[in-house]
A and B are shown apart, each in its own frame.
Chain A
Amino acid sequence: SYELTQPPSVSVSPGQTATITCFGDQLGDKDACWYQHKPGQSPVLVLYQNRRRPSGIPERFSGSNSGNTATLTISETQAMDEADYYCQVSDSSTSVVFGGGTKLTVL
């Protein structure tokens, strides 16, 4: 089965740029999504098709996907961005895979 690997944690200072990676075999051939999940809240889709932002998601959130790595970049990181972030891909109707999640800490 397909697997996605994320770093368990990333730390960033307020106002700086946070980069969260997601690794998978030939991941660049697939469309990646990213979700933000804060404790006790619903997960929120922040990027789909690698780089597209749903309505209401700030421009600070951007993404890329090439080779074996998809990347979520959060510029001008704010305290409110502190959350768990998950990448996700699907390559069939029954193969919907999430990464293990990355805890973003804004110090």
Chain B
Amino acid sequence: QEQLVESGGALVKPGGSLRLSCAASGFPFSAYYMNWIRQTPGKGLEWLSCISSSGKTTYYADSVKGRFTISRDNNKKSLYLHLSSLRVEDSAVFYCARAPIYDASTGPSYGLDVWGRGTAVTVSS
């Protein structure tokens, strides 16, 4: 069974940092581009970042570029998102998701076909 499980969400103070993890199972993790998406109560789903199957290429939404860093360890079948300089408005449920196809020109043209259940991050003093 293809599965993604996020972890690492926590309560953190503004300006703080956090690392989220996503453990994959049931599919050849190293063959796929992987993504992070967040959901806030007021704004719905927001795509944050993508990393190529090898980990050599990364993409970021303008809203998080420079503050969030995506990475992966194919040996551990794990995806990561390092969050820094956190703001109250970064509070959200963070999801990892698989992209069956990711084109440099058109992005995930086949959508995001496997998602985790999410991990909650709350930024508050």
Contact = CB atoms under 8 A, between A and B. Distances in A.
A97 B37 CA distance: 11
Contacts of B125: none
A44 interface: yes
Contacts of A91: 106-107
Interface residues of B, number: 32
B117 interface: yes
Contact of A45 (B35, B44, B113): B113
B111 to A, nearest CB: 4
A42 B112 CA distance: 11
B125 to A, nearest CB: 28
Interface residues of A, number: 28
Given A42-B95, A45-B111, A94 B116 contact: no
30 contacts: A33-B112, A35-B111, A35-B112, A41-B117, A42-B4, A42-B114, A42-B115, A43-B97, A47-B111, A49-B109, A49-B110, A88-B112, A90-B106, A91-B107, A92-B106, A93-B50, A93-B102, A93-B103, A94-B59, A94-B60, A94-B107, A95-B107, A96-B35, A96-B47, A96-B61, A98-B37, A98-B45, A98-B46, A98-B47, A101-B45
Interface of B: 4, 35, 37, 43-47, 50, 59-62, 95, 97, 102-118
